[in-house]
Structure 1
Amino acid sequence: MSKEEKVPFETMIFSGVTFKVINRHEAHEIIGDLTDFKDQKIYNVFEDTWRFPDYEENPLFLLAEEDVEMDLFEMDFSTEQHPDIFILGFIFKGNLNVSKLITSYDTDNSPALIVFGKTTTVNITLFGSVHYLGGGLKCDVLTGEYNHGELFVKGNITAWLIYSDDMWMHFERFTDVQAIVNVNRPDVLICSSVTDTDGSVIMVENYFPSTHKLSDIVNDDFIEYTSYGTEILGNNYLDVFKEGLSIIDYDKSDQYLFTDFRNQFIEMVQVLSEKNDGRIREKISETEYQYVPFVYEGLNYSQISEEIGNGFNIQMRALWCHDNEEIMLILEYQDEEGNPKYQWINNETAPGIEMYCVKAAAIKAFEVLTAETDSDEDEDDETEYAEYDSSFSLEDFAVQFGNYKIPEDLVRLYEFQQEYGSETYSECFGLLVMNDKTGIKTWSEEEEFYNSFIEFAGANGSGSSYAYWLIDEDLNNCPIVVFGDEGGIHVVAENIRKLIHLLTLDTEISVDFDYCYFYKDEEYYSENENKDEFHDWVKREFNFDAIESNEETEVIINEAKEKYKRRLNDFLTKFDIEIGDEVE
């Protein structure tokens, strides 16, 4: 435990509220025993990471011991009156009532929000730290963004929309929630009471799939689309949040309440049955969509389903019985062998958000199974899916390297990935086919710049990528750099072999404007399914022992920086690309 820090003054005003100023030791006495839904402690204020760093001057927490009301609460690390302090977190022992908006400071880093009482606001958007709402939450819209954040909510939650874009959000129970939207993968988790095989009732925490598309419930003015067609919040929705206004389109009630689902589902079954007499199946990345006609106990059924794999193992099935005209909805969590662990079964009129996700899955599956594409689109789709399914050939992979010979170490990694799959052996890492240099051109469209790099792999879940910096005709002598999705170009490793060694930590790289780093938090770490096979392969092929600590990765990165950082910075400056101030 670190030396106890002195506080520079007793109280401080933030957003019009007078807070008591406390150090991290005092904060530890208040929040150190807070636990998640697996009885694991949430906070260690002495951990010295980006969440609670030791390197900032005058670190402190602000404490409100009574109920607090505010108009707008925008968390920041300091104020104009006190620019030299660094706020690690805001702690509210009572209730927090904010009339317009609660928001974090930045997706990368923010003070933590810790509320013991009930939190009430119109809109709340959180990221950049681990946040805790211990007495429930009532709001219009809750959003969480980026994997530098995490949220725990105990008690009741009432919200029109919970929206997660790459941020874990844990809830004790949904009291009145209309819609859950996860971008790409399920990041929302909910506790449920289930009956065990021996009849006892146990509490489990499960990932909760999306119940809607954003366009089912949000005003179209605030929806943007990614290059993959995914709907995301955008178009200055935060400006609306700051005014205390809603982005929900209440005129879309027929969509978000699935008012006509029965007729819609019967029509979907009819269309699919006419399209094919038997099973129809499509797989996109780790998600499988199916239409299956079958006979059970003498009755004829048609099933439309979505199954989310990649460790989530969630299956959602909607069934139509042609003989008795009944609809059955099933939400099922499976084990690694595909056997049911937990199941929710009901008809289409049953209340509860659990059945919403099954209805949404059936509609999504129908759209996928009936999608019409021309030959050019099919070719584009094959390329897109190849990036995720590792189905591209070595010849396809080699195209992006032009006249450069692919290093043998990289070929061996390609062969390993072909056998075990992308993103299954090191968190969020996968070799990709990236021929158009679209991402690199966002930094500079000067030909000399973008032709000086070859992207070849995805680096993390938010869109950063690894590339060779072409300073030698032999790629074995070229360093590996990372292009950050939110800024920053940094040297990571002296060569591909050193990068492979870094990957054995089995955690994705974090890329800030100023620096890049690997950080494994053992409390929240979940190993990839083929990690052990990868470690054995690395030992066998390169005689490297798997990296076990964050400090070991720093050694490899620092060695590369010592050789190439100054040279890379000079090169970037040449193209008017801003260089960050690295924190040593």
Structure 2
Amino acid sequence: MEKEKNIFEKIKFNGVEFIVISRENAHEIIGDLSDFENEKIYDVFEDTWRFPDDEDNALFLLAENDVEMDVFEMDYATEERPDIFILGFIFKGNLTVKKCISSFDTDNSPALIVLGKTTAPNIILFGNLHYLGNGLECETIIGEYNHGELIVKGETTTKLIYSDDMRMRFENFTSVQSIVNLNRPDVSICSRLSDGEGSIVILENYFPSTHKLSDIAADSYVEYSDSYDQETFTADYYEKVFKQGLSLIDENKAERYLYQNFRQKFLNMITELSNKDYAASDGSLYYEDDYAKYSFVHFVYEDKNYTQISTTILNGFNIRMRAFLCVDTNEIALLLEYLYDDESTKCQWMDNEDALGIEYFAVKNAVFEAFEILNDEKSFEETDDEEDYDEEEEDEEDELTLEDLELQFDNRTLPDDLVKLFEFEKEFGAETFSECFRLYIMDKTGIKTWSEEEEFYTSFIEFATANGSGSSYAYWLTDTDLNNCPIVVFGDEGGIHVVAANTRDFIQLLSYDTEISVDHENAYFYKDEDYYEESENKEAYADWIKNTYGFEALENDEEADRILNTAKEKYKKKLNAFLEKFDIETFD
């Protein structure tokens, strides 16, 4: 790449005059910025995924003084200067926006870097590592998708922090009313704790949700997502609320989001759970899923009787939240604990039921969640005796049929080779002969995230999983006869690439028994022999393709590359031309 020149011309973006600076100039300003462990966070030369080095006129925009805007929607270029590519916006002073701040795209966006204080009613960020260096004041801040990350230093004041699979890290909460993690905890906060010798120790911990979304947001902008199995924002909240500078918060729900009358509600929960027919002989209830452990127990401590409802978040987070009633004194206590792997306490917060801090809102939310699960008899319909659990029966209910596959292909004639592959999978089992591969039924939702143009999404038929992170295989309908159609992979984090010229090549490719790797620029197979574990029926598959097609199983990356390269030579230019019709980025 030709070395960028130092550029000091000025251009306007959203009515604000910025100085145009090069990558080298930006590095002098942001190269030493760090996270809470003092690890440097920006490398504008090496981190070419966040700061591409293959774009013409790639640059940063710098504001040296305090800035005020109406709406700040970050984009890679301006209408006046479509020839430039903006890598990031750097504000040396304070940034004040009257309505909203938003990123460009969930996959990739210019970085937002503010060295002063950031103030705006509503903020939504994704697609890059964003840094707010001297405090944040807003009403709602949203982070979306794992291509982005946010670091906020200084004090944070906000009513709602909402994370949808994006890491958001905060140094200090001055006044934070609610935190909602759409799934696992993605929000973390630094806690200042005193050790046994009186010294202050800073620990950064993931923070659990403190509310349901409907506890605090207006009902008209909340919906239930079957995909996430919980509440999410509606698709129109950005246009109708954020861009107008309005509020998502429903102040009439103060009773809910401040957990008023928690004592009586907690006592009612104890009474209801105590009367459950499916409780154990001692009146306790336990339930565990892939996410957490939930329990309702009675215990004695220091000669006093207690009843407790608790939730423990699993998968390495080791967060336990519990509320317990001392039956003898009628006192209620709330306890948030961070645990070591052996479940001993690393640090904790404890107070009574009237506590209003964000830590105790997390406990109260966890208690309500545990009650809903433990109070639902369906949670206990499956016996705890594993010998009575018929796993084969469940597999049969979910088993893919040939009729399902035909419907997936809109009743087109299936390729003979695909039918043979289906029959082999039916006999030996999905994901037992080629890593992460399973014939699968998918709707058009995933493809439509690339383009909602009908010509685009009707040109592909997804039919199988490609790897463990969500990529999928699809036929590209270049011919009315599916036997003549190539197979492409849709990357879960970007990239659409042709992988096989036809079904038979694809069947041989599966014999390598390694999931495909997909990025924006390429799709490839790589087998690390130190970590590779052979699939249960790999040898049976190798015998099958040998007897059916005369193929030998692939043994190394180079043999897999030959099949990929044959397909690329035949179809890559054609595929790129097709994708570019829909403004989908391609790579030569």
TM-score interval, smaller chain:
0.7 to 0.9
Q: Is 2:100 the counterpart of 1:101?
A: yes
CA distance in 2, matches of 1:243, 1:437: 34
Tell me the C-alpha RMSD between the 2 structures: 4.3
Superposition map of 1:284-323 within 5 A: 284-323=289-328
Q: Is 2:472 the counterpart of 1:466?
A: yes
SS in 1 for 2:275: helix
Show the counterpart of 2:232: 232
Show the counterpart of 2:269: 268
Pick aligned residue for 2:463 from 436, 454, 462 = 454
Q: Is the 8 A contact 2:117 2:132 kept in 1?
A: yes
CA distance in 2, matches of 1:73, 1:361: 36
SS in 1 for 2:116: coil
Show the counterpart of 1:281: 286
SS in 2 for 1:162: strand
Q: Is the 8 A contact 1:154 1:171 kept in 2?
A: yes
Shift of 1:202: 1.2
Superposition map of 1:192-207 within 5 A: 192-196=191-195, 200-207=199-206
Show the counterpart of 1:148: 147
Deviations 1:156-180 (A, max 9, x none): 0000101110100000011000000
User: Structure 1 residues 186, 481: CA separation in 2 closer, same or farther (over 3 Å shift)?
Assistant: farther
Superposition map of 1:483-522 within 5 A: 483=490, 489-491=496-498, 495-496=509-510, 498=512, 500=514, 502=516
SS in 1 for 2:177: strand
Show the counterpart of 1:247: 248
Whose radius of gyration is greater, 1 or 2? Answer: 2
CA distance in 2, matches of 1:559, 1:416: 16
CA distance in 1, matches of 2:211, 2:274: 25
Pick aligned residue for 1:582 from 574, 581, 586 = 586
SS in 1 for 2:272: helix
User: Structure 1 residues 232, 491: CA separation in 2 closer, same or farther (over 3 Å shift)?
Assistant: farther
CA distance in 1, matches of 2:447, 2:133: 45
User: Structure 1 residues 42, 575: CA separation in 2 closer, same or farther (over 3 Å shift)?
Assistant: closer
User: Structure 1 residues 20, 572: CA separation in 2 closer, same or farther (over 3 Å shift)?
Assistant: closer
Partner AA of 2:306 in structure 1: Y
Shift of 1:534: 8.3
> Please, which moves more after superposition, 493-502 or 19-28?
493-502
CA distance in 2, matches of 1:533, 1:317: 45
Deviations 1:254-297 (A, max 9, x none): 01000111111111111111112522222232322221222222
CA distance in 1, matches of 2:195, 2:270: 34
CA distance in 2, matches of 1:193, 1:567: 58
User: Structure 1 residues 313, 559: CA separation in 2 closer, same or farther (over 3 Å shift)?
Assistant: farther
Show the counterpart of 1:170: 169
Shift of 1:568: 9.0
CA distance in 2, matches of 1:112, 1:58: 16
Show the counterpart of 1:335: 340
Partner AA of 2:531 in structure 1: H
Partner AA of 1:243 in structure 2: Q
CA distance in 2, matches of 1:354, 1:555: 55
Pick aligned residue for 2:375 from 358, 370, 375 = 370
> Please, which moves more after superposition, 63-72 or 482-491?
482-491
SS in 2 for 1:366: helix
Partner AA of 2:299 in structure 1: F
Deviations 1:540-561 (A, max 9, x none): 9999xxxxxxxx9999779626
Q: Is the 8 A contact 1:409 1:496 kept in 2?
A: no
Deviations 1:182-202 (A, max 9, x none): 011100010012234665431
SS in 2 for 1:306: strand
Superposition map of 1:420-569 within 5 A: 453-456=462-465, 459-460=468-469, 464-467=470-473, 481-483=488-490, 489-491=496-498, 495-496=509-510, 498=512, 500=514, 502=516, 535=531, 537=533, 560=564, 562-563=566-567
User: Structure 1 residues 137, 329: CA separation in 2 closer, same or farther (over 3 Å shift)?
Assistant: same
Q: Is the 8 A contact 1:150 1:169 kept in 2?
A: yes
SS in 2 for 1:535: coil
Partner AA of 2:463 in structure 1: I
Shift of 1:351: 3.4
Q: Is the 8 A contact 2:430 2:437 kept in 1?
A: no
CA distance in 1, matches of 2:151, 2:56: 28
> Please, which moves more after superposition, 12-21 or 220-229?
220-229
User: Structure 1 residues 575, 489: CA separation in 2 closer, same or farther (over 3 Å shift)?
Assistant: closer
Partner AA of 1:201 in structure 2: I
Shift of 1:339: 2.6
Shift of 1:335: 2.2
Q: Is the 8 A contact 1:572 1:578 kept in 2?
A: no
CA distance in 1, matches of 2:354, 2:488: 54
Superposition map of 1:62-211 within 5 A: 62-196=61-195, 200-211=199-210
Q: Is the 8 A contact 1:282 1:289 kept in 2?
A: yes
Aligned residue-pair number: 524
Shift of 1:51: 1.0
User: Structure 1 residues 459, 564: CA separation in 2 closer, same or farther (over 3 Å shift)?
Assistant: farther
Superposition map of 1:32-47 within 5 A: 32-47=31-46
